[in-house]
Amino acid sequence: MLFEVWAPHARAVALQLDDATQAMAPDPARPGWWRTAADAADGARYGFRLDGGPVRPDPRARRLPDGPGGLAAVADPAVHRWLHPWKGRGLPGAVLYELHVGTFTEAGTLDAAASRLPLLADLGISHVELMPLSPFPGRHGWGYDGVAPWAVHEPYGGPAALQRFVDAAHGAGLGVVLDVVHNHLGPSGNFLAEFGPYFTDRTRTPWGDAVNLDGPGSDEVRAYFAGSALALLRDHRLDGLRLDAVHALSDTRARHFLAELSASVDALAQATGRPLFLIAESDLNDPRTTAPRGAHGHGLHAQWNDDFHHCLHTALTGEDQGYYADFARAPLTALAGTCTRGFFHDGGWSTFRGRHHGAPLRPELPAARLVGYAQTHDQVGNRALGDRLAAGVDRSLLFCAAALVLCGPFTPMLFMGEEWGADTPWQYFTDHPDPELAAAVREGRRREFAAHGWEPGEVPDPQDPATRDRSVLRWPAHLPDDELWQWHRTLIALRGAHLPTGLTLGEVDASADEERGLLVVRSGSLVVAVNLSGAPATATLPPGRCKLLAGHAADGEVAPPGADGVRLPARSVAVLRLTAE
């Protein structure tokens, strides 16, 4: 077996394999690389000594059975015997479902999560989007402080469990998307800086020094992160990746890292014959994120659309603090504009930022390149108490929100439990073994929310095991009997039947009446009309005949539309189809 490592500044490198030490030689074909061959059984522990220093795990370790800082273990991803042939499932027409493995079930493992996949398939979900799985300190955490992007968190089951999960998902007809973090690595167990110039102090991020994507040595750093992404897609048969906070990727090179990565993923898709895709999280509102590489864009296949969330959230809750202030003045009008333009901030003034923000998207952009949602791990978990919409708004408004997400123009995404209106909180929790790091995280969280008027004792302690326990989903005994679950199932079916996958932003119309709480959105021939107010009102529909497909009201029923529009009871929604009759 060949062992190799990039350590350009080391004068000597040795392989520590179980109890044996073996010198490594420079690779004559690749400057800065060291290599040696050794017999190694599956599971054998190994690491590298740089210049006689302590043994460090392989930066490209496929398995870290003892977590960050522990020795790597030999693991061959090719040994898994795949049970279900899979041709892939692309992003067009997708309905995403974001879940956190550690709180999706009480057991908090990939195998336990796999047992719930048939329910998601029955609901109509097309792709499960897993939050990060890279090894991180302790057992429980969100996963955004992971250390080894090539490996899988051992308490979740390790890399073999991820392959079993993906295999089971494909057997149920579900694609799998994985959230990966390239913009930083966690501080605990992170030894990359000892191996080479993986980080730079030329740019600072909220997590410290930036990843070195454009300085000396950055060719290998870029290859390290791109290689980990390709390995996950190839060896675990994932269908796509969600890229965390790409706005924090500082890169001044002529060809941005994201363009390089998207080209590599497209090449892998062609080689494997499976559609593969990348979804970015970005707060830049930059059209270049999803613009084709041939048009000087990054060529990513989609991006999260926080503007849509913020408009919808303020319309449902009335909240106006922080970044919600930009949307709260006229939330329904803002939502109508976002549905038709893609971004709310597309070059205009942002009060929250104190500057102009964003740039316009082109009308011919496929609307599916934006991901729309009412809740995500960020928008729930980064609230002081981690409270979901179901904990703070009338239940009937959840039906309205679901229709706007699932029958709206963008690729829809649900956050786990949203489909039945789970009101369990989803809070920020950690399990740092390092007491100093644990104290810093705890105090940082308290300081953050003290600035918004919260008392320290009101903010859950991330290190308290009870914080994670409160965040575990409490699954209903008879989920398919739940009215809200059935509503989501109906909406997903209507979307699949009536909303074209090639819909462009230019084919979306929307109108709002702030005073009466009315919003009407037409995506192709599919029309959603909502009344968020406490009084009945009649919504004017697009020209033509509209047929009522589904409706829900807090009290009473939604009747078929008449000549003057559709009569909507208080806090109600109608989903209609514009026909040629």
Average pLDDT over residues 353-371: 97
Confidence of residue 454 (pLDDT cuts 50, 70, 90): confident
* Within a domain: 239: yes
* Within a domain: 434: yes
* Within a domain: 75: no
Average pLDDT over residues 539-560: 96
Q: Looking up tokens 């009997």, which residue turns up?
A: 481
pLDDT for 17 equals 97
Tell me: pLDDT of 209 over 90.
no
User: CB neighbours (10 Å) of residue 2?
Assistant: 8
User: How many residues are recorded in the chain?
Assistant: 581
Residues 6+ apart with CB under 8 A from 433: 137, 138, 188
Asked whether the whole model's pTM tops 0.85, one would answer yes
Known catalytic membership, residue 557: no
Tell me: pLDDT of 118 over 70.
yes
Average pLDDT over residues 49-57: 97
d(CA 72, CA 61): 6
d(CA 327, CA 332): 9
Average pLDDT over residues 408-415: 98
pLDDT for 175 equals 98
Q: pLDDT per residue over 141-168, tens digit each?
A: 999 999 999 999 999 999 999 999 999 9
* Within a domain: 504: no
* Within a domain: 335: no
| DSSP per position, 3-60 | EEEE-TT-S-EEEEETTEEEE-EE-TTSTTEEEEE----TT-EEEEEETT--EE--TT
pLDDT for 397 equals 98
* Within a domain: 293: yes
Tell me: pLDDT of 112 over 90.
yes
Average pLDDT over residues 199-219: 90
* Within a domain: 498: no
Residue 132 vs residues 141, 145, 407: alpha-carbon distances, Å: 10, 9, 28
Query: Which is it for strands 208-211 and 199-205: parallel, antiparallel or unpaired?
Result: antiparallel
Average pLDDT over residues 178-189: 94
Average pLDDT over residues 447-456: 81
pLDDT for 581 equals 59
Residues 6+ apart with CB under 8 A from 480: 122, 486
What integer best gives the mean pLDDT of the chain?
96
Average pLDDT over residues 213-234: 98
Q: Looking up tokens 């062992």, which residue turns up?
A: 3
Tell me: pLDDT of 185 over 80.
yes
Q: pLDDT per residue over 458-490, tens digit each?
A: 899 999 999 999 999 999 988 889 999 999 999
21 beta partners? 16
| DSSP per position, 528-568 | EEEE-SSS-EEEPPPSSEEEEEEEEESSS-PPPPBTTBEEE
Specify the number of domains making up the chain: 1
**Could you tell me the maximum CA-CA distance found in the chain, to the nearest angstrom?**
84
Known catalytic membership, residue 513: no
Confidence of residue 453 (pLDDT cuts 50, 70, 90): confident
d(CA 565, CA 247): 43
Average pLDDT over residues 109-131: 98
d(CA 239, CA 227): 16
Q: Answer whether 308's CB lies under 8 Å from 302's CB.
A: no
Q: Give the domain CATH number at 391.
A: 3.20.20.80
Tell me: pLDDT of 59 over 70.
yes
* Structural domain range at position 179: 96-319+366-491
**Stronger pLDDT, 547 or 479, i.e. the higher one:** 547
3-state secondary structure 271-320: HHCCCCEEEECCCCCCHHHCCCHHHCCCCCCEEECHHHHHHHHHHHHCCC
Q: Would you state the structure tokens that stand for residue 445, as one six-digit string? A: 């969280």
Average pLDDT over residues 419-423: 96
Q: pLDDT per residue over 26-46, tens digit each?
A: 999 999 999 999 999 999 999
Of residues 154, 167, 220, 244, which has the active-site annotation? Answer: 244
Tell me: pLDDT of 493 over 90.
yes
Confidence of residue 177 (pLDDT cuts 50, 70, 90): very high
| DSSP per position, 201-224 | EEEEETTEEEE-SSSTTHHHHHHH
pLDDT for 550 equals 98
* Within a domain: 441: yes
Q: Would you state the structure tokens that stand for residue 531, as one six-digit string? A: 């009344």
Of residues 220, 281, 307, 326, which has the active-site annotation? Answer: 281
